């Protein structure tokens, strides 16, 4: 039977939750100061209709103080009027250059206002892990960094041999299954690899926060479509409602659509070129300084990083000083990449 555990880390400029599945990271929930509280799944409120885009079958609406949200127009909805009011619920947070998406609840009354905030990070952890309090402290930080390491990876080993490569494009996420060094009957080995790939990929896709169209390039031929479909339904059950699984094509591809809800956590960690974002690197720098500060109480510390990371670290400086005291300096090294961080005794 699968076991899930929760971890909660409160660092400088970040609160992070981790859910593990049988000891491996399954979800990473990140909150940073400055996050828009209205740009999150579960927010409910009365919004004003800003524009109606009938060619796209949608309208843009906004809660007071919030950004524009896309509201798909359904045939059973009342006619929308620009400037009118609607009651909505945010179903999908914004991502990259795409607006958040809401669902229609009812016609709005009164003034635009927020009716319900999004679940807190702690509430989300309790939803995913029903029993017990989350683990905190150093063990929680270890769980966070293990989850981040998995998110930054592309290739994941499969139990029994072989691996999967999970890569994203603008159109879809591809999952390439490789048989590797599995031995024995070829058909049996391929079936076991595909089954393992579905289970591993379900965990990793949840961890990375990826949704939309997902295509598995299965290994081998003559697939047992029914068995693989059942395996996929079981593996992706935690992502319901909204999971749709297609038939295996004659080319050995299994397609599915996964619901998008929270902003993909990858967008916080890596930029469009695959490198660390300056904001994420600044938080890694704060963690490194805090670790070194605990190891050397009272000692002076010096850190070096890329210029963009130093600029992002400016908003964390005061918070770290409250924990360590003003005994650290951080300097920029032109030409360094964001993932290059050095901390030492001054």
Q: Do 133 and 48 lie in a common domain? A: no
What's the order of all strands across the beta sheet hosting 328-332? 328-332, 301-305, 342-345
Give percent of the chain above pLDDT 70.
100
Query: What pLDDT, on the 0 to 100 scale, is given for residue 332?
Result: 97
Residue 265 domain flag:
no
Alpha-carbon distance 345 to 298, whole Å? 11
Q: Do 70 and 176 lie in a common domain? A: no
* Arithmetic mean of pLDDT, 27-38: 95
Would you list the DSSP string of 226-260?
HHHHHHHHHHTGGG-SS-EEEEEPTTSEEEEEE--
Q: Do 70 and 182 lie in a common domain? A: no
**pLDDT tens for residues 232-284?**
999 999 999 999 999 999 999 999 999 998 889 999 999 988 899 999 999 99
In this structure, what CATH number is given to the domain that contains residue 108?
2.40.50.140
Alpha-carbon distance 294 to 13, whole Å? 18
Residue 173 domain flag:
yes
**Residue 297, burial from CB neighbour count under 10 angstroms (0-12, 13-18, 19+):** exposed
Q: Do 133 and 32 lie in a common domain? A: yes
Asked whether residue 3 carries a pLDDT value surpassing 80, the answer given is yes
Q: Do 106 and 185 lie in a common domain? A: no
Q: For residue 55, what is the DSSP state?
A: G
- Residue 294 neighbours by CB under 8 Å, 6+ apart: none
Structure confidence at residue 346 as a pLDDT band (50, 70, 90): confident
Q: Do 65 and 96 lie in a common domain? A: yes
* Arithmetic mean of pLDDT, 68-90: 95
How many folded domains does the chain comprise? 4
pTM: 0.91
Mean pLDDT of the chain: 94
Q: For residue 110, what is the DSSP state?
A: S
Asked whether residue 88 carries a pLDDT value surpassing 70, the answer given is yes
In this structure, what CATH number is given to the domain that contains residue 158?
3.40.630
Q: Do 288 and 337 lie in a common domain? A: yes
Residue 112 domain flag:
yes
Residue 264 domain flag:
no
Give the phi and the psi of residue 228 in degrees, each rounded to 5. -70, -35
Give the phi and the psi of residue 60 in degrees, each rounded to 5. -105, 125
Q: Do 139 and 102 lie in a common domain? A: no
Query: What pLDDT, on the 0 to 100 scale, is given for residue 177?
Result: 96
Query: What pLDDT, on the 0 to 100 scale, is given for residue 97?
Result: 80
Q: Do 11 and 139 lie in a common domain? A: yes
Alpha-carbon distance 344 to 346, whole Å? 6
> Could you tell me how far CA 158 lies from the centroid of its own chain?
22
**Residue 22, burial from CB neighbour count under 10 angstroms (0-12, 13-18, 19+):** exposed
Residue 267 domain flag:
no
Q: Do 95 and 205 lie in a common domain? A: no
Query: What pLDDT, on the 0 to 100 scale, is given for residue 180?
Result: 82
Asked whether residue 182 carries a pLDDT value surpassing 80, the answer given is no
Q: Do 74 and 24 lie in a common domain? A: no
CB neighbours (10 Å) of residue 42? Answer: 16
Structural tokens at position 69: 């949200």
Query: What pLDDT, on the 0 to 100 scale, is given for residue 201?
Result: 98
Residue 123 domain flag:
no
Phi-psi region of 282 (alpha: psi -120 to 50; beta: other; left: phi over 0): alpha
Alpha-carbon distance 92 to 28, whole Å? 17
Domain that residue 232 falls in? 153-258
Q: At 279, which helix (H) or strand (E)?
A: helix 278-295
Structure confidence at residue 56 as a pLDDT band (50, 70, 90): confident
CB neighbours (10 Å) of residue 251? Answer: 7
Asked whether residue 29 carries a pLDDT value surpassing 80, the answer given is yes
CA distances to 56, 92, 130 from 133, in Å? 45, 27, 9
Tell which residue, 312, 306, 305, has the closest CA to residue 288.
Answer: 305
**pLDDT tens for residues 8-20?**
999 999 999 999 9
User: 222-226, 257-261, 280-284, 308-312: which range is least confident on average?
Assistant: 222-226
**pLDDT tens for residues 142-151?**
999 999 999 9
**pLDDT tens for residues 191-203?**
999 999 999 999 9
Q: Do 139 and 84 lie in a common domain? A: no
Residue 189 domain flag:
yes
Query: What pLDDT, on the 0 to 100 scale, is given for residue 1?
Result: 60
Residue 230 domain flag:
yes
* Whether the Cβ atoms of residue 178 and residue 165 lie closer than 8 Å to each other: yes
Query: What pLDDT, on the 0 to 100 scale, is given for residue 254?
Result: 96
Alpha-carbon distance 276 to 272, whole Å? 10
């Amino acid at each position: 039977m699968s076991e899930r555990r929760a971890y909660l880390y409160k660092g400088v400029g970040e609160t992070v939750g981790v859910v593990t599945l049988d000891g491996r990271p399954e979800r990473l929930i990140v909150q940073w100061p400055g996050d828009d509280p209205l740009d999150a799944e579960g927010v409910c409120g009365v919004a004003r209709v800003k524009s109606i885009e009938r060619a796209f079958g949608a309208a843009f609406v906004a809660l007071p103080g919030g950004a524009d949200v896309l509201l798909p127009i359904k045939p059973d909805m009342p006619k929308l009027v620009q400037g009118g009011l609607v009651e909505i619920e945010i179903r999908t947070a914004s991502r990259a250059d795409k607006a958040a998406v809401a669902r229609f609840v009812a016609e709005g009354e009164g003034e635009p206002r927020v009716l319900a905030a999004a679940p807190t990070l702690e509430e989300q952890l309790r939803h995913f892990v029903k029993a017990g309090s989350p683990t905190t402290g150093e063990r929680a930080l270890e769980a966070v960094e293990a989850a981040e390491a998995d998110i930054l990876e592309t290739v994941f080993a499969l139990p029994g041999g072989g691996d999967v490569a999970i890569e994203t494009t603008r159109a879809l996420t591809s999952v390439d299954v490789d048989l590797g060094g599995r031995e024995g009957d070829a058909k049996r080995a391929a079936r076991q690899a595909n089954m393992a790939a579905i289970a591993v990929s379900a965990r990793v896709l949840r961890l990375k926060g990826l949704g939309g169209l997902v295509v598995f390039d299965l290994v081998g031929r003559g697939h047992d479509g029914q068995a693989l479909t059942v395996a996929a339904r079981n593996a992706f059950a935690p992502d319901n409602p909204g999971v749709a699984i297609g038939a295996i094509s004659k080319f050995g591809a299994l397609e599915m659509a996964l619901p998008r809800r929270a902003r993909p956590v990858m967008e916080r960690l890596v930029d469009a070129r695959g490198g660390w974002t300056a904001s994420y690197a600044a938080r890694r720098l704060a963690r490194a300084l805090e670790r070194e500060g605990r190891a050397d109480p009272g000692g002076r510390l010096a850190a070096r990083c890329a210029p963009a990371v130093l600029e992002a670290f400016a908003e964390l400086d005061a918070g770290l000083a409250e924990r360590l005291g003003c005994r650290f300096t951080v300097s920029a090294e032109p030409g360094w990449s964001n993932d290059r961080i050095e901390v030492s005794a001054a």
